């Protein structure tokens, strides 16, 4: 087996939802936070694969998923990390927050507790993550408005007070799913420095099995 | 917690996290518990810096150390061999995608009170100040022999049967003197003592090949080090386990390993009991099933400068072969720094370690400490080296060994693979991961 530093495996050719664009490519690590069963994985699955499963398994079996959003002259590539259930007993590793440039904190509009917990996750992000992290608050399961217990205005006010993006989303009907990622993409700084490696500091290299010669990882080669 | 699991893993040290990941990937239902509220156990990187000072009973660091959160200080110094077992595990399990690495800049060996770069190819051998002119030629011949050696091609053995010839005899055949044997055995083959001289040459040749193959990957040295410290490694494998369904509970006391007829049936925490068929754990969870077989001394040194004589390298390994300082086991010095995001800007973390041989272990590491120059703060710790007395066949409790004094993860991986084999009756099937993880690249 041959192992070398290598550019991280990309997903070639996937250009959703806004089509291809020329110009620079910036890669960002985005983490999902929120209580179990608020629909974190479903939001990602809807955004990345355009799918929805009524009975989504509690883990989706992928390290992280990637999806690209195209703004005017910039391709924004999200590396989306799911909690993999490690939030259940408050056992998320520091690695999870490490180098995250964006976060979506998800709650369920039909469950008041999940909104309270979302506020705790926001505090946790402010404590653990980079000070410049872009945070979006997503009130998910907007399709279940008849069972709503968290008022939109309440969440909106909280988000404004804390400088968060806010949308009510539905992974089931796809309402606002692409939009919330797009809003984050717009808010992220697209300067040369900000585009380092998704994942960690952008200063080291990733190891990938490869036949080719040694290459620098995205962090070292992308925008330096 | 009151559920039934195939396996409960206790402790989130690197070995336990790799095992947890491998078990989850193999389709087992895994519960992974740590009594601490952080990941990593013995193999954690301590952060913030205040926490390290507290652990060693020292008053808080002053402001010259920068922000405490910028520090991630390993308790156990190790590097990854670029072509070694751990890198293979990281790549095959996909865990590598959570991590970034840097090459260690220099690899040095101690001789006669000073340090020299470890020569690894013909060019470096000829330029090295470790050997006289004639010895350089002999060493070059030896290196060429090892490079050309192929296990499955007896023609490349050149009349040396690697199974029956001892390494001592091979050195003799090439006419290598004691000094050259010293750095070859200790700085290239990475043996801790001289027992290998009496063993067959094949093991040593394999080790030298691992060193040079690792070096061939990225140049400066055969070693890699993860950004943010070694504590990232257990976290990465824990995430792998979680992705494959493993359940994680930190900050959970373990009060009892519940046995029935000599076989484990569960783990109790307070008044909750999780049922299981097997337990995998580090020695600290089963004090009655392990024995102490030695001690390792490790001294963490915080410094505001690199190691003198290493061309200002931001990361280094120095090996002090046992004979050079009249010992039975080598002394190791490792250095990492702010460039790895393990310390505040301008700071360096050196670690001097060895297997304890006397009643005064601090005096034993002095030759290593003396190489470092001025040290701002020292933290000395002596750890017991524990080995299981229970092989798990009856009890179904599978216990890892403590982390040894070696500078790399090869023995760590061998222990993990051995435990997995004993626990599951089969070798780990890497193909189970690769296929599934392709998911995210569709």
Domain limits for position B401: 4-46+231-290+387-427
What is the C-alpha separation between B214 and B147, in angstroms, rounded?
13
**Domain holding B309: CATH number?**
3.30.519.10
B123 and B203 both lie in a single domain? yes
**Sheet with A74-81, edge to edge strand ranges:** A65-70, A74-81, A24-33, A102-108, A134-140, A165-168
Chain B residues 218-257 with CB within 8 Å of chain A: 218, 224, 226-228, 232, 235-236, 238-240, 242-245, 247-252
B96 and B144 both lie in a single domain? no
Q: What is the pLDDT of residues A32-42, one digit of tens each?
A: 999 999 999 89
B24 and B61 both lie in a single domain? no
**Domain contains B62:** yes
B86 and B138 both lie in a single domain? no
CA distance A212 to chain B (A): 11
B61 and B201 both lie in a single domain? no
Residue A3 has pLDDT above 60, yes or no: no
Q: What is the pLDDT of residues B186-214, one digit of tens each?
A: 999 999 889 999 999 999 999 999 998 88
A3 touches chain B (CB under 8 A): yes
**Domain holding B122: CATH number?**
1.10.405.10
B181 and B330 both lie in a single domain? no
Sites in chain B below the pLDDT cut of 50: 435-442
Of A59, A1, A26, nearest to B436 by C-alpha is A59
State whether A62 and B227 contact (CB < 8 Å): no
**Domain contains B162:** yes
- Residues in chain A closer than 8 A to B228 (CB atoms): 95, 98, 200-201
- The confidence band for A204, taking pLDDT boundaries of 50, 70 and 90, is confident
B132 and B150 both lie in a single domain? yes
CA distance B393 to chain A (A): 31
- For the ranges A78-92, A159-173, B226-240, B267-281, the lowest mean pLDDT is seen at A78-92
Distance of CA B326 to the CA centre of its chain: 25
- Residues in chain B closer than 8 A to A217 (CB atoms): 100
Of A155, A60, A50, A143, nearest to A106 by C-alpha is A155
Task: Identify the DSSP state of B250.
Answer: -
B262 and B403 both lie in a single domain? yes
The dihedral sign for the CA sequence A15, A20, A26, A32: negative
- The confidence band for A55, taking pLDDT boundaries of 50, 70 and 90, is confident
| pLDDT reported for residue B423 | 97
SS3 B319: strand
Domain boundary among B385, B401, B418: B385
Residue A215 has pLDDT above 60, yes or no: no
Whole-number Cα distances in Å, B36 to A92, B70, B274: 13, 21, 18
Residue A17 has pLDDT above 80, yes or no: no
Kindly give the residue spans of alpha helices, DSSP state H, lying in B149-252.
167-174, 178-183, 201-218, 232-243
Residue A202 has pLDDT above 70, yes or no: no
B306 and B380 both lie in a single domain? yes
B324 and B211 both lie in a single domain? no
B286 and B364 both lie in a single domain? no
Buried b (16+ CB within 10 A) or exposed e, B317-327: bbbbbbbbbeb
How many domains does chain B fold into? 3
| pLDDT reported for residue B429 | 79
B364 and B346 both lie in a single domain? yes
Distance of CA B267 to the CA centre of its chain: 29
HSE-up of B71 (CA within 13 Å, CB side)?
Answer: 23
CA distance B80 to chain A (A): 12
SS3 B441: helix
Residue identified by tokens 């380092």 is A196
**Domain holding B270: CATH number?**
3.50.50.60
**Domain contains B433:** no
**Domain contains B95:** yes
Q: What is the pLDDT of residues B334-362, one digit of tens each?
A: 999 999 999 999 999 999 999 999 999 99
**Domain contains B435:** no
Of A34, A13, A14, nearest to A120 by C-alpha is A34
**Domain contains B195:** yes
**Sheet with B101-103, edge to edge strand ranges:** B80-81, B223-226, B101-103
SS3 B98: helix
Residue that wins the pLDDT comparison between A159 and A86: A159
| pLDDT reported for residue A11 | 38
How confident is the prediction for chain A on average, in pLDDT?
A: 80
Mutation pick from B103, B239, B343 vs chain A, by most beta carbons of A within 10 Å, is: B239
Residue A68 has pLDDT above 80, yes or no: yes
Chain B residues 339-368 with CB within 8 Å of chain A: 339-341
Strand intervals (E) in B252-347: 256-260, 263-269, 272-281, 290-303, 316-320, 331-337
| pLDDT reported for residue A23 | 75
B269 touches chain A (CB under 8 A): no
| pLDDT reported for residue B434 | 52
Q: What angle do CA B31, B411, B15 make, to 5 degrees?
A: 10
What is the C-alpha separation between B341 and B296, in angstroms, rounded?
26
**Domain contains B226:** no
**Domain contains B432:** no
| pLDDT reported for residue A192 | 53
Domain boundary among B187, B218, B249: B218
- Residues in chain A closer than 8 A to B87 (CB atoms): 3, 207
Pick from A84, A91, A199: which is nearest to B100 by CB?
Answer: A199
């Amino acid at each position: 087996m041959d192992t070398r530093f290598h550019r991280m495996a990309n997903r070639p050719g996937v250009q959703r939802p806004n089509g291809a664009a020329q110009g620079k490519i910036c890669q960002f690590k985005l983490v999902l936070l929120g209580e179990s069963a608020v629909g974190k994985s479903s939001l990602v699955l809807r955004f990345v694969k355009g799918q929805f499963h009524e009975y989504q398994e509690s883990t989706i079996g992928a390290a992280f998923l990637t999806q690209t959003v195209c703004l005017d002259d910039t391709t924004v590539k999200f590396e989306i990390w799911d909690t993999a259930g490690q939030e259940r007993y408050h056992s998320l590793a520091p690695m999870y927050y490490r180098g995250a440039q964006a976060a979506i904190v998800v709650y369920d509009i039909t469950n008041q507790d999940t909104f309270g917990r979302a506020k705790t996750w926001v505090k946790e992000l402010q404590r653990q993550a980079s000070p410049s992290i872009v945070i979006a608050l997503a009130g998910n399961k907007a399709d279940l408005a008849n069972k709503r217990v968290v008022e939109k205005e309440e969440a909106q006010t909280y988000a404004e007070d804390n400088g968060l993006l806010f949308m009510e989303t539905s992974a089931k009907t796809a309402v606002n799913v692409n939009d919330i990622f797009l809003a984050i993409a717009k808010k992220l700084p697209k300067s040369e420095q900000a585009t380092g490696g998704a994942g960690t500091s952008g200063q080291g290299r990733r190891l990938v099995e490869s036949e080719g010669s040694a290459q620098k990882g995205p962090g070292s080669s992308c925008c330096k | 917690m009151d559920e039934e699991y195939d396996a409960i893993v206790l402790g989130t040290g690197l070995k336990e996290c790799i095992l947890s990941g491998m078990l989850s990937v193999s389709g087992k239902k895994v519960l992974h518990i740590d009594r601490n509220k952080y990941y990593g156990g013995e193999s954690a990187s301590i952060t913030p810096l205040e926490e390290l000072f507290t652990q060693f009973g020292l008053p808080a660091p002053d402001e010259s150390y920068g922000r405490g959160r910028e520090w991630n200080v390993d308790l156990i110094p190790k590097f990854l061999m670029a072509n070694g077992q751990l890198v293979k595990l990281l790549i095959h399990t996909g865990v590598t995608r959570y991590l970034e690495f840097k090459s260690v800049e220099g690899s040095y060996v101690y001789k006669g009170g000073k340090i020299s770069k470890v020569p690894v190819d013909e060019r470096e051998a000829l330029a090295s100040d470790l050997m006289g002119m004639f010895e350089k030629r002999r060493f070059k011949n030896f290196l060429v022999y090892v490079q050309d050696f192929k296990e499955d091609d007896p023609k490349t053995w050149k009349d040396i049967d690697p199974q029956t010839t001892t390494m001592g005899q091979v050195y003799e055949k090439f006419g290598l003197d004691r000094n050259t044997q010293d750095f070859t055995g200790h700085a290239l083959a990475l043996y801790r003592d001289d027992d290998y001289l009496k063993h067959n040459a094949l093991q040593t040749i394999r080790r030298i090949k691992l060193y040079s193959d690792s070096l061939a990957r990225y140049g400066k040295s055969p070693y890699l080090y993860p950004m943010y410290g070694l504590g990232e490694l257990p976290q990465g494998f824990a995430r792998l386990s979680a992705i494959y369904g493993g359940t994680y509970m930190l900050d959970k006391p373990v009060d009892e390993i519940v046995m029935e007829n000599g076989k484990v049936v569960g783990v109790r925490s307070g008044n909750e009991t999780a049922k299981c068929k097997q337990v995998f754990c580090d020695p600290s969870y089963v004090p009655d099933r392990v024995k102490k077989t030695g001690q390792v001394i490790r001294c963490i040194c915080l410094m505001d400068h690199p190691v003198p004589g290493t061309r200002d390298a931001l990361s280094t390994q120095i090996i002090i072969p046992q004979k050079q300082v009249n010992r039975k086991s080598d002394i190791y010095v490792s250095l990492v720094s702010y460039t790895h995001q393990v310390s505040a800007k301008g700071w360096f973390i050196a670690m001097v370690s060895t297997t304890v041989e006397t009643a005064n272990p601090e005096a034993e590491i002095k030759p290593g400490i003396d190489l470092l120059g001025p040290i701002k703060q020292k933290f000395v710790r002596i750890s017991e080296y524990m080995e299981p007395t229970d092989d798990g066949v009856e009890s179904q409790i599978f216990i890892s060994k403590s982390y040894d004094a070696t500078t790399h993860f090869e023995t760590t991986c061998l222990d993990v693979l051995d435990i997995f084999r004993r626990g599951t009756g089969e070798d780990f099937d890497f193909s189970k991961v690769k296929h599934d993880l392709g998911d995210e690249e569709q």
